[in-house]
């Protein structure tokens, strides 16, 4: 069974003091209001209403944590974050960003990767660039061009090339992967799942237990 299909609700954090202690690896979903974060989580986890999706922008105001792993074990977490750019300011207080999501994304040591949702019709906005700039360079980044069912193949690829170029210019050397994504048309799901599961896998660089066991003691 795939790790993502074990997802279940863990906790909602509406205030900084409710933040769970650092622990298993986490991947956060971020993006402007209405960019498709909650829908992407539901689709990637094959669950209809795990994360609440809505037509009303700005509905998700808290951080919502979803646990992954066998029933009695939390081996990783997915985190749905409030949309930004709602109040026409890059990282607005009104969206809960300054007190909650902003500090979380900047300081959380358990955070291994951030999936950034860009509505394919809007490409990269200044608010998105400000958010990307906010994230520590040690954290993995993946950009999903969401709702790409709105465009035909040619137009999708054209936007993808433009976004890859804009990201390379704004964040040289970070090599940010850009995936054409649609929850409705089920585009880009396997690629996205593979990248997320990669981030959540136990440290590739950590010494292998079996190898350590074969090492002479003296």
Binding residues among 12-41 for Mg ion as defined by CB under 5 A: 37-38
Query: Is position 182 an interface residue for ligand GTP (rule: CB under 6 A)?
Result: yes
Query: Shortest Cβ distance from residue 8 to Mg ion (Å)?
Result: 17
Would you say 55 or 215 has its CB closer to Mg ion? 55
CA 12 to chain centroid, in Å, comes to 16
Q: In whole angstroms, what is the distance from residue 73 CA to residue 140 CA?
A: 24
Binding residues among 4-33 for ligand GTP as defined by CB under 6 A: 31, 33
Binding residues among 28-87 for ligand GTP as defined by CB under 6 A: 31, 33-39, 53-55, 57-60, 83
Would you say 131 or 167 has its CB closer to Mg ion? 131
Give every CB contact of residue 34 below 8 A, 6+ residues apart in sequence.
57, 58, 83, 119
Q: In whole angstroms, what is the distance from residue 96 CA to residue 62 CA?
A: 7
Choose from ligand GTP, Mg ion, none: what does 39 bind? Cβ within 5-8 Å by kind.
Answer: ligand GTP
Among 13, 78, 183, 196, binds ligand GTP (CB under 6 A): 183
Give the number of other CB atoms < 10 A from CB of residue 186.
Answer: 11
**3-state SS, residue 54:** coil
Query: Shortest Cβ distance from residue 18 to ligand GTP (Å)?
Result: 19
Choose from ligand GTP, Mg ion, none: what does 146 bind? Cβ within 5-8 Å by kind.
Answer: ligand GTP
Query: Is position 42 an interface residue for Mg ion (rule: CB under 5 A)?
Result: no
Tell me which DSSP letter residue 11 carries: E
Would you say 57 or 69 has its CB closer to ligand GTP? 57
Query: Shortest Cβ distance from residue 109 to ligand GTP (Å)?
Result: 25
Query: Is position 61 an interface residue for Mg ion (rule: CB under 5 A)?
Result: no
* H runs (alpha helix) in 73-218: 102-107, 126-134, 153-170, 189-200, 209-214
Query: Is the alpha carbon torsion for 187, 153, 129, 136 positive or negative?
Result: positive
Q: Characterize the bridge pairing of strands 63-68 and 8-13.
A: antiparallel
Query: Shortest Cβ distance from residue 179 to ligand GTP (Å)?
Result: 12
DSSP string of 152-186, one letter each residue: -HHHHHHHHHHHHHHHHHHSTT---EEEE-BTTTT
Tell me which residues touch Mg ion (CB under 5 A). Answer: 37-38, 60
Tell me which residues touch ligand GTP (CB under 6 A). Answer: 31, 33-39, 53-55, 57-60, 83, 146-147, 149-150, 182-184
């Amino acid at each position: 069974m795939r790790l993502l299909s074990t997802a279940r609700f863990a906790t909602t954090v509406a205030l900084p003091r409710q933040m769970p202690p650092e622990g298993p690896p986490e991947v956060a979903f971020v993006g402007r209001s209405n960019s498709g974060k909650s829908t992407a989580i539901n689709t990637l986890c094959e669950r209809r209403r795990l994360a609440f999706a809505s037509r009303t922008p700005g509905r998700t105001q808290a951080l919502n944590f979803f646990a992954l792993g066998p029933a009695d074990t939390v081996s990783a977490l997915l985190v749905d974050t409030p949309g930004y750019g709602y109040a026409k300011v890059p990282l607005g207080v009104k969206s809960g960003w300054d007190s909650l999501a902003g500090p979380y994304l900047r300081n959380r040591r358990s955070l291994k990767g951030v999936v950034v949702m860009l509505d394919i019709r809007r490409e990269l906005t200044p608010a998105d660039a400000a958010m990307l700039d906010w994230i520590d360079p040690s954290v993995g980044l993946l950009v999903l061009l969401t709702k790409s069912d709105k465009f035909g193949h040619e137009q999708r690829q054209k936007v993808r090339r433009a976004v890859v170029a804009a990201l390379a210019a704004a964040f040289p050397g970070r090599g940010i992967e850009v995936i054409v994504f649609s929850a409705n048309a089920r585009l880009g799901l396997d690629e996205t799942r593979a990248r997320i599961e990669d981030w959540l896998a136990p440290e590739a660089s950590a010494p292998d237990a079996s190898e350590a066991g074969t090492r002479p003691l003296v």
